[in-house]
Amino acid sequence: MTGWAAREAAALFPTYARRPVTFVRGEGTRLYDDSGREYLDFLSGLSVTSLGHCHPAVADAIASQARTLVHVSNLFFTQPQIELAERLQETTGWQDSKTFFCNSGAEANEAAIKLTRRHGKRQDAAKVNVVALDGGFHGRLLGPLLLTGNPAKHEPFQPLGDWVRHVPHDDPGALTAAVDDQTCAVWVEVLQGEGGVRPVPPAVLQAARDACDRHGALLVVDEVQTGVGRLGSWYGFQGTDVVPDVVCLAKAMANGLPIGAVVARGAAAGGLAAGDHASTFGGGPVVAKAALAVYDTISQEGLIEHAAAMGRALGDRLVSLVERMPLAVGVRGHGLLQALVLAEPVAADVTGAALDRGLVVNDVAPDAIRLAPALLIKEAELDHMAEELEAVLRSIHGDGDGDIS
Ligand X SMILES: *Cc1c(COP(=O)(O)O)cnc(C)c1O
Q: Which stretch binds ligand X (CB under 6 A): 105-113, 164-172, 231-239, 296-304?
A: 105-113
Q: Which stretch binds ligand X (CB under 6 A): 84-92, 136-144, 170-178, 341-349?
A: 136-144
The residue among 366, 345, 358 whose CA lies nearest residue 391 is 358
Q: Which is nearer to ligand X, 105 or 311 (CB)?
A: 105
Query: Helices (H) and strands (E) in the chain — how many of each?
Result: 13, 17
Task: Tell me how far apart the alpha carbons of residues 64 and 69 are, in angstroms, rounded to a whole number.
Answer: 9
Q: Which is nearer to ligand X, 252 or 396 (CB)?
A: 252
Q: Which is nearer to ligand X, 104 or 129 (CB)?
A: 104
At closest approach, how far in Å is the CB of 85 from ligand X?
19
Kindly list the distances between the CA atom of residue 306 and the CA atoms of 43, 119, 253, 311, 344, in Å, as whole numbers in the listed order. Answer: 17, 38, 18, 8, 33
Could you give the residue numbers annotated as active site? 137, 222, 251
Count of chain residues binding ligand X (CB under 6 A)? 15
The interface with ligand X within residues 189-208 (CB under 6 A) comprises 189, 193-194
The reply to whether 106 sits near ligand X by the rule CB under 6 A is yes
Q: Which helix (H) or strand (E) holds 166?
A: strand 164-167
Q: Which stretch binds ligand X (CB under 6 A): 13-21, 51-59, 80-88, 187-195?
A: 187-195
The reply to whether 138 sits near ligand X by the rule CB under 6 A is yes
Q: Which is nearer to ligand X, 105 or 143 (CB)?
A: 105
User: DSSP letter string over 79-139?
Assistant: HHHHHHHHHHHHHHT-TT-EEEEESSHHHHHHHHHHHHHHHHHHH-TT--EEEEETT----
**Cβ contacts of 181 within 8 Å, gap of 6 or more:** 124, 127, 215, 216
For residues 218 to 247, the per-residue mask of contacts with ligand X, x marking binding by CB under 6 A and - elsewhere, is ----x-xx----------------------
Residue 198 contacts residue 169 (beta carbons within 8 Å)? yes
Q: Which is nearer to ligand X, 112 or 392 (CB)?
A: 112
CA gyration radius, the chain: 21
Which residues bind to ligand X, rule: CB under 6 A? 104-106, 109, 137-139, 189, 193-194, 222, 224-225, 250-251
